[in-house]
Structure 1
């Protein structure tokens, strides 16, 4: 058995970030889709994951709102790589899971970014699946098995929570750190018994696996995870109006998910290179808030009044510290300082 290693030190993260900053970090790729704006530039990190982010990208909503900006979209595989890129100062805005965000602010020298939006709440689009041929039917049955997940991700956090709830310690299973595509390859080779991962890889595992739990169930039990969007401190100081425009674009995407489901499916299908049927099924597994819900006291909050996300991030950090994933738990004040709520909700009008 192997215990999950403690999260990498800030020094190691910084070294990795600086080594990869010139290419916006290993594990990500630019799709070459940038606007032909003027002298101002924005580099945005995103995931190949069904959300309003893909609608903003596909519809060029931000490019239309900021014609004087050159906008480059860079695809990432995990939150750990996003954190490295922010340390290397190669990102302005990016999608980031609530667990890697909690890690990012849990240090004496926190990563220089702030949460500015909520993309979605993890539902059945992140889940723990076990190979059918193992005969395992519940989480407790994973004892002694090899389980893969991308370390420092929301799936990693949810996996640890699932194990704890089932009475297992991380050392009771063999945890393996793999990115989604590597998880699929290892699954097909029968190198792993189970995996906690997100769409679209998750759907591939379900074809020959049994789902044991999901982030929707774990969230309902008190440990929710979310896909957030963060902005660099440098962008806040340099170009706050671009953040306002970006928030408006994200709010429009959330409205389109409700008002134009067919168009939303088409956009996600095009961005992910999957069929409309698959895109529709994947979108149905996510939990997408309305802009009004995002800025409510139940979630992100408004200027001067952070919502419940403040306690969610703090609780996540406490849990990660208890699991020896991070060294220290940030104070509520430190987490509050990592929120950028200026102008909310008025900037969405």
Structure 2
């Protein structure tokens, strides 16, 4: 009897072990951390550049055995193409391109605002061009990256002046704008730093995004995340935002030091970096959860309304086929991961 009992007990243990192994093989793959996080970046002086330069993201994810790969994009158009293919998990872009993401039904969500754009973007006009006010641009060729924040502000600038049908707009990337400017092909362009700084060496800002923000046309650089990643790894997503917030704290605590770090990363002077960083508004995660921006879960903030208003304008200009409705934007501008990041920091 004892031998039979022992054999039965051993058999029971074997069966339990077999079932537990099957259970682990079914759930383990779903819960395993990714080996790599692919992050699309813009080479501009913002919290993301500061976080990368300081190694905050590499250190945070490296402790989990996760590698960060940074893919540089010159515009949100390129980033959206990468998101559509599933080759990146996060991307920085202007909020107008984030609208394009939603309008194109890309499976993404907006999860962060790097900065509200001010003097960092502007309509540059060549010195001695004879152009002194916006109305003087009638008959001119103006370059800007289409579907960008610069494009949106430029269109509204021209519309307010009543000359939107009297100029020729050229779709150029930032490097192409600088080359065309230096060749003398264009006298005016709406672009952002650092290309804007090159233009201003022989030109001046006629209108800035700060000027237009004061008239209600607000633009920002934001982060969108691919839902296939954000929904599967919410803690990792929040961890990234937590480190962007830490980078912002470095700048807020010592602007000169923040500019020095960014300058070294972007290979520009600390003076240029500081000027560019002061040309935008950086918000804390707590401020982003306020009613002017993301709001909180279940209580959408005003930035979703700004996104909808901007989308309606882009539809009117035929930059997108159809503007999503307000409810879509209320869901798209998602405060969940910022809320989680704030809890992590507390």
Shorter-chain TM-score tier = 0.7 to 0.9
- Equivalent residue number for residue 44 of structure 1: 39
- SS of the equivalent of 2:103 reads coil
| 1:258 match | 252
Distance 1:343 1:209 in 2: 42
Q: Secondary structure at the match of 1:196?
A: strand
Q: Is the 1:303–1:343 contact (alpha carbons within 8 Å) kept by the matching residues of 2?
A: no
Match of 1:10 in 2: none
Residue 304 (1) aligns with residue 301 (2): no
Out of 167, 173, 181, the residue aligned to residue 162 of structure 2 is 167
**Any conservation in 1 of the 2:308–2:329 contact (CA below 8 Å)?**
yes
Matches within 5 A, 1:11-50: 40-50=35-45
Whether the 8 Å CA contact 2:46–2:114 is kept in 1: the answer is yes
Max Rg structure: 2
Structure 2 match to 1:230 = 224
In the other structure, the counterpart of 1:83 is 80
Deviates more, 1:334-343 or 1:147-156: 334-343
Residue by residue over 1:63-117, the C-alpha shift from the partner in whole angstroms, topping out at 9 and shown as x without a partner, is 221222111011110011111111111110111111111122124xx11110001
Shift of 1:178: 0.8
1:274 CA drift (Å) = 0.8
Structure 2 SS opposite 1:133: coil
1:116-170 CA distances to partner (integer Å, 9 max, x unpaired)? 011000000000011123200111111110100011111011110110111112x
Contact 1:236–1:243 under 8 Å retained in 2: yes
C-alpha distance in structure 2 between counterparts of 1:316 and 1:78, whole Å: 18
Q: Is the 8 A contact 1:44 1:71 kept in 2?
A: yes
* Equivalent residue, structure 1, for 2:99: 102
Q: Distance in 2 between matches of 1:168 and 1:122?
A: 24
The answer as to whether partners of 1:146 and 1:175 remain within 8 angstroms in 2 is yes
- Structure 1 outlier segments of 4+, above 6 Å: none
Seen in structure 2, the aligned counterparts of structure 1 residues 55 and 151 have a Cα distance that, compared at 3 Å, is same
Please name the residue that 1:147 is paired with: 142
Instruction: Report the counterpart of residue 280 of structure 2 in structure 1.
Output: 286
Aligned length: 309
CA distance in 1, matches of 2:241, 2:297: 14
Query: Residues 129-144 of structure 1: matches in 2 within 5 Å?
Result: 129-144=124-139
SS in 2 for 1:77: coil
Pairwise CA distance, 1:337: 2.5
* TM-score between both structures, scaled by the size of structure 1: 0.86
Contact 2:103-2:324 at 8 Å conserved across structures? yes
TM-score, structure 2 as length reference: 0.86
**Distance in 2 of aligned mates of 1:175 and 1:343:** 38
Residue 126 of structure 1 contacts residue 214 of structure 1 at CA under 8 Å; is this kept in 2?
Answer: yes
Query: In the alignment, what sits opposite 1:92?
Result: 89
For the residues of structure 1 that align with 2:140 and 2:111, how far apart are their CA atoms?
39
Query: In structure 2, how many angstroms separate the alpha carbons of the residues matched to 1:344 and 1:74?
Result: 23
**Structure 1's 182 and 139: CA in aligned 2 closer, same or farther, altered over 3 A?**
same
Q: What is the Cα deviation at residue 263 of structure 1?
A: 2.4
Give the structure with the higher percent helix.
2
Judge conservation of contact 1:314–1:331 (CA < 8 Å) in 2: yes
Between the aligned partners of 2:261 and 2:110, the Cα distance in structure 1 is 25
Specify every segment of 5 or more residues in structure 1 that has no aligned partner in the other structure, as ranges: 1-37
1:302–1:344 CA contact under 8 A, matched in 2: no
Report if the CA contact (8 A) 1:138-1:212 is conserved. yes
**Do structure 1's residue 123 and structure 2's residue 115 form an aligned pair?**
no
Among candidates 324, 328, 336, match of residue 322 of structure 2: 328
**Counterpart among 51, 69, 84 of residue 66 in structure 2:** 69
Residues 1:136 and 1:343: Cα distance change in structure 2 (over 3 Å): closer
Q: Which residue of 1 aligns with 2:201?
A: 207
Helix, strand or coil: the match of 2:68?
strand
